[in-house]
Chain A
Amino acid sequence: MVNNRFPKLPYVLLLLGIVCLAAGSYLGLFVAPPEHFMGDVQRIMYVHVPTAWNAMLAMTFALVCALLYLFTSDWKWDARMEGGIEVGVLLAFLLCCQGAIWAKPTWGVWWDWDPRLTTTAVLLFAFLGILALRRFVDDPVKRAVWSSVATIIAYVDVPIVYFSVKWWNSLHQAQSSPATVSKSFHLPLRLNAFGILFVMTAFIMLRARIASLRLEQELAPPPVLDGAMGELA
């Protein structure tokens, strides 16, 4: 059951990702010019924006796995979903922290009820709830189905939360429009985006591998019933 066709691939991706992140961060921190209005504070964008893209990507990957599990009942999608959700939660948490670090010098507060920030926080708690659910369900079939269902429900909620917070907040203040990004900012942004993408993919692959090993152990037939239960695993 454990997919081990390319056992070295995650480590290659991890290395590649670290190289990209190091190069992108060097360019972003020392080479790219400081932004006109915000100065050096803006440099957090080189890691913040790629984190946001990849967090959405990881959650979307979890949704795809959830749908595929419900349609195929193939265990590998359950293991991949677990990897996707966990890495997505980690990235969403980092995103909230980076947002707060950026907001303090820029807006003067740690937290702002900006639609993107608030949606990320809601998303983080929704998916943390799914991880908690997975911990409490002992039956692997129920755990896989229920967390797939919960993932679909939570994912559908994301655009609704976004628009509701946007309407809610627009009553207080106008949305700040994202400044157009100049050419010299592109390279570090892209390098970091690919860096995080590679690291994230490696983490998801490794995490899914652990999850399927665990599943294999859970689904293994008790020694007495060996013949009768064999086809389950």
Chain B
Amino acid sequence: MRRFGLLFLAILLCSIPSATRAEESYTLDLSEIEKKPYSFAGYVEARPALYGLDSSSAFYRLRYFDDPKRQILGEANGRVRLEGSYEKSLFRVFARLNTDLQYNDSAHASERTTFYEAYASAKPADFFKIDVGKKTLKWGKGYAWNPVAFADRPKDPDDPEQAMEGYIVATADIIRSFDGPLKTVSFSPVLFPVYDHINSNFGQNNTLNAAGRLYFLFYDTDIDVMFMTGGGRPDRYGFDFSRNLTTNFEIHGEYAWIRNNRKTVLNAAGAARTVEGEAHSFLFGLRYLTSFDLTAIVEFYSTSAGFHRDEMKNFYSLISRGFDAYTKTGDLAGLARSIQLAESGYARPNAMRNYLYARLSQKEPFDILYFTPSLTCMVNTDDFSANILPEILYTGITNLELRLRAGVLIGGRNTEFGEKQNTWRIELRAGYYF
């Protein structure tokens, strides 16, 4: 009986988790935090994708006019991003090089390598810094759109968190802090040259543009006022704000006013004319976190610089007439003109006037760690077509990010998402940081 008791005690002791018996020791190796004058980092990504094509849509006809019956398009995408920096005294240089690779069974292989950023900085004091070189400035508070990002390339609303290519600028940050309701003021002036080999795709060549952003943290509200002038693009002015109403509820907004904005519009017969006038764009959004870790981002974006429904309809009709002419006579003139107009603005993402964006993401549902399913929906509220993007993200392996995403485009003929070249897509993105 006594032997049985001892055996039971031994089993019991063995079954106690080791953590309660021996105190686990934790250490932080000081070599991990040692600062070096240089740094190097990188990111590689593989993104295979499959598209379900809509051969009767306008953009399909524009792109695959010589292959009218294609149903599926397979695509393999790759990305390599390398970045490095070197710091000495108050000077620092930084570069981020991006290579995009693409192979699909229509256009075959393509490769594009470019510096996303490459600039030199001098920081003589904590309140003053100068940067010269290629840089992204990232103005604005919106998640999917930034109408006040005057000196940046437009975001991809399908993937707003992607790194972006900058422009060549000279910029500075001057910061002052205060006690009281006005806590911070900072000013960031920008010189933005547009010449033959410098930012040549930005706008009017041979112009030296000036831009600036004035930031305030006033009564716990972030406020920015910005401008850009100089002739590269029509002068523009704007402001944005962001504020937490409660600990889990944030609101933000942007407004931009563009003087003498020009856009090319088509009439029903397909004749183009340039319309010049003021353009106003605004965005209002919110971010809300529920008690069960669901994050909701909702934004409404409106711009009078966008195309009206009739103007887009006339563009789709022009493509249709060009395609008919090509199939009947082999004449490419109509399609060539459509391609030219597409590049001038009709094919840009969200080319129309009013959009609603909603993104819901649930952190670790059903106690599945590092797993985040999301649902994104973008609705064109002019024609009520929509792009719906369900996705799942897994980040359980250190430095590896896996994302499976689908896209379903909903809309009839002559609607923005209904006339895209595909009706659905599915893609897997595997990204590794090092």
Q: Do A and B bind each other?
A: no
Which A positions have Cβ atoms within 8 angstroms of B? Answer: none
Which B positions have Cβ atoms within 8 angstroms of A? Answer: none
